[in-house]
């Protein structure tokens, strides 16, 4: 299960099949892939990085809610989508802010994908308990 930020309509994700890199993910309109889960609520991570909306401050409550979503959705990876002229509502500045926010949430720098418009990947997330408590490297309790 991978969380892609920003969560988008899964119809825009044809690249998954075309690149042969398919994964299950929660999306703005529901669940993609072969997950048996049902997405009833769109929490903080599924509404993160909306155009023209500031990212939430990483307060203890925001950390806890993010950790609960990671646990509930069984998220194993986080991907910040590439900025591209083909996606007019997703700027390089928004991408950079989202990367920095997730970096602070999980306490580690991402891997950067190749290309002119790279995506950023966190493939080994700390436990939801550590995320909630902020006991990740660089977190408030570290």
Number of domains making up the chain: 1
Distance of alpha carbon 136 from alpha carbon 41, whole angstroms: 26
Task: Supply the pTM of this predicted model.
Answer: 0.79
Divide the 142 residues of the chain into consecutive groups of 10 and give the mean pLDDT of each group: 73 55 60 49 75 86 94 88 72 90 95 86 93 82 50
Structural domain includes residue 138: no
User: Per-residue pLDDT tens for 58-82?
Assistant: 999 999 999 999 998 888 999 888 8
β-strand partners of 112 = 120
How far apart, in Å, are the Cα atoms of 102 and each of 14, 108, 125? Answer: 25, 8, 11
Domain that holds residue 96: 2-133
Structural domain includes residue 140: no
Quick check: 25 and 33 in contact, CB under 8 A?
Answer: yes
Q: From the CA atom positions of the chain, what is the Rg in Å?
A: 14
């Amino acid at each position: 299960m991978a969380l892609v930020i920003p969560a988008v309509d899964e119809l825009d994700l044809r690249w998954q099949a075309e690149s042969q890199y398919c994964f299950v993910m929660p999306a703005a309109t529901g669940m993609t892939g072969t997950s048996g889960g049902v997405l009833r609520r769109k929490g903080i991570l599924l509404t993160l990085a909306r155009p023209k909306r500031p990212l939430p401050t990483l307060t203890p409550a925001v950390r806890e809610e993010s950790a609960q979503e990671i646990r509930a959705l069984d998220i194993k990876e986080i991907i910040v989508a590439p900025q591209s002229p083909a996606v007019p509502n997703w700027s390089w500045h928004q991408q950079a802010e989202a990367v920095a926010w997730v970096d602070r949430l999980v306490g580690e720098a991402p891997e950067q994908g190749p290309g002119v418009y790279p995506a950023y990947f966190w493939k080994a997330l700390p436990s939801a308990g550590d995320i909630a408590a902020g006991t990740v490297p660089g977190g408030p309790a570290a």
